[in-house]
Amino acid sequence: MLLSEFQQLIRDRYFATDSARGAPATFLWFAEEVGELAHAIGKHQRGERSTADQTNLEEEFADVLAWLTTLANILEIDLTRAVHKKYLDRGGPKGTK
C-alpha cells in the first residue's frame, strides 16, 4: 500500500467525524496513541516479548500512523508531497534528524 492510498483510506473511513472533532482534539487523541506506543516499546525493551506484546506493538504503530494521517487530512496536508519535499527533493535534509 502506498502512503497516498493509506491517507485516502483514512479519509474515506473517518474524515466526517475527524473534521468535526477538529485538529486540537484530534491531536490529543494522537498524543494518547503515542503514549500507548511508548508503553509498548518500554515493555519490548524490558524483555517482555510475547506474541501478544509483539501484536500490541504492531497495533500501536498502526494507530499512531492512522492518527497522524488523520491530522494531516484535517489540516489538508498531502503526506506523500510532504515526505517528498522534506526527504527526497533536492537530496533530502542534510545532517542528522
Average the pLDDT over 90-97 and give the result.
71
Neighbours of 8 (CB within 10 A): 14
Q: Hey, where are the domains in the chain?
A: 27-90
State pLDDT tens for residues 37-62. Answer: 999 999 888 886 778 788 999 999 99
Top pLDDT among 49 and 9 is at: 9
Backbone phi and psi for residue 74, each to the nearest 5 degrees, phi listed first? -60, -40
Average the pLDDT over 29-41 and give the result.
96
Q: Is 27-90 a CATH 3.20.20.140 domain?
A: no
Q: Report the amino acid identity of residue 24.
A: P
- Residues 41, 23: Cα–Cα separation, whole Å: 26
Neighbours of 6 (CB within 10 A): 16
With bands split at pLDDT 50, 70 and 90, how would you rate the model's confidence at 36?
very high
Neighbours of 59 (CB within 10 A): 13
Q: Give, rounded to a whole angstrom, the gap between the first and last alpha carbons of the chain.
A: 26
